[in-house]
Amino acid sequence: MAIVFYIAAMVAVVSTAMVVTRLNPIHALLYLILSLLSTAVMFYVLGAPFVAALEVIIYAGAIMVVFVFVIMMLNLGEETVRQERVLLKPAMFVLPAILAAILGAELLYLLYYGGRADTGQGVVGPKQVGVSLFTTYLFAVELAAMLLLAGLVGAFHIGRRESERELTDTEGTSEVRRAQPELGRK
Amino acid sequence: MADIPVEHGLLVSVIMFSIGLIGLLVRRNIIFMLLSIEIMFNAAGLAFIVGSTRWIQPDGQVMFMFILAMAAAEVAIGLALVLAIYRGFNTLDADRASRMQG
């Protein structure tokens, strides 16, 4: 079983690196879905089958589909690839990569400085998770519900303003100049 | 289930988090920045699950569910902003939207 974990981890790391370096948003998105699916495999091997299912259904399923919707709606394709080719020079990776490497090295140092430990041998099933979720963490569940409501209301608010503007102003002249007074009015 | 050292699970988590951080710092396209944030959420969730299986307790999995809820809310707001910026500026370049009035 352990070899499955390491293969999935390798797939996850490689596909995550591909997400960051792609020019076409759809390609990046498909690599991210691959990364999430291999993370789900890792969860399963580690003994968390419920969360593995949630990762596939909610993360790779629902959240990524929203991304696909938006990218398809914006009709990003060749134009974005050309634009990104100008924006994304290999030299731009140098400094952030060094900074992130320093951070990662620090984390790894702390990781290996402590003692070693194996992961547990048991499986934490949905029942235990559900009991814990609705007894110990009940208040946090209600806070998460409030957060989702706030997200819903916020998305509706931001999206509605745009569609109204499109309805009232059908001429596509000077989009930037038209947008700025409205941004100021917020 | 399997005999995997905790360090290896956390190692994968650290690598994925660092890649997400690099992506967030390097890319100027807002969609790629959002994707990088998702990578970092996922890496943090992986660390929680590794901790959960280390002590065979459900708490880490509960935390992962809260991360899921937060990611869903963040994606809803973030993509609404992406649409707003694309309609307003006709580009997804984050630098073009750096000036806000008011």
Q: What is the mean pLDDT of residues A58-79?
A: 85
Distance CA A44, CA A37 (A): 11
Per-residue pLDDT tens over the stretch B33-81: 999 999 999 999 999 999 888 888 889 999 999 999 999 999 999 998 8
Choose among A114, A92, A110, A90: nearest CA to A102. Answer: A110
Distance separating alpha carbons of residues B18 and B14, to the nearest angstrom? 6
Of A169 and A122, the structure prediction assigns the larger pLDDT to A122
pLDDT at A93: 79
* Exposed/middle/buried for residue A28 (C-beta within 10 Å: 0-12, 13-18, 19+): buried
The predicted model gives A72-87 an average pLDDT of: 76
Contacts of B75 in chain A (CB under 8 A): 63, 66-67
What residues of A are in contact with residue B25 (Cβ under 8 Å)? 95-96, 99-100
Read off the pLDDT of residues A146-179 as tens digits, 9 standing for 90 and up: 999 999 999 888 887 555 555 555 554 444 444 4
Look at residues B91, B95, B87, B98 and name the one whose alpha carbon lies nearest to residue A161.
Answer: B87
Q: B10, B57, B68: which to substitute to probe chain A, counting the most A Cβ within 10 Å?
A: B68
Q: Would the CB atoms of A20 and B26 count as touching at under 8 Å?
A: yes
Of B6, B69, B88, the CB nearest to A147: B69
Q: Flag whether pLDDT at A143 surpasses 90.
A: yes
Q: What pLDDT shows up at residue B71?
A: 93
Taking the Cβ of residue A134 and every Cβ of chain B, the question of whether any pair is shorter than 8 Å is answered with: no
What's the gap in Å between the CA of A12 and the closest CA on chain B? 8
Task: For residue range A14-40, list pLDDT tens digits in order.
Answer: 999 999 988 888 889 999 999 999 999
Interface touch B27/A88, C-beta < 8 Å: yes
Mean predicted lDDT score pLDDT of chain A: 80
A126 vs B: CB within 8 A: no
Question: Any CB–CB contact under 8 A between A160 and chain B?
Answer: no
Mean pLDDT of chain B: 87
- Does pLDDT of A103 surpass 60? yes
CB of A25 less than 8 A from some CB of B? yes
Give A73's pLDDT tier (boundaries 50, 70, 90): confident
CA dihedral A56, A57, A59, A60 (to 10 degrees): 60
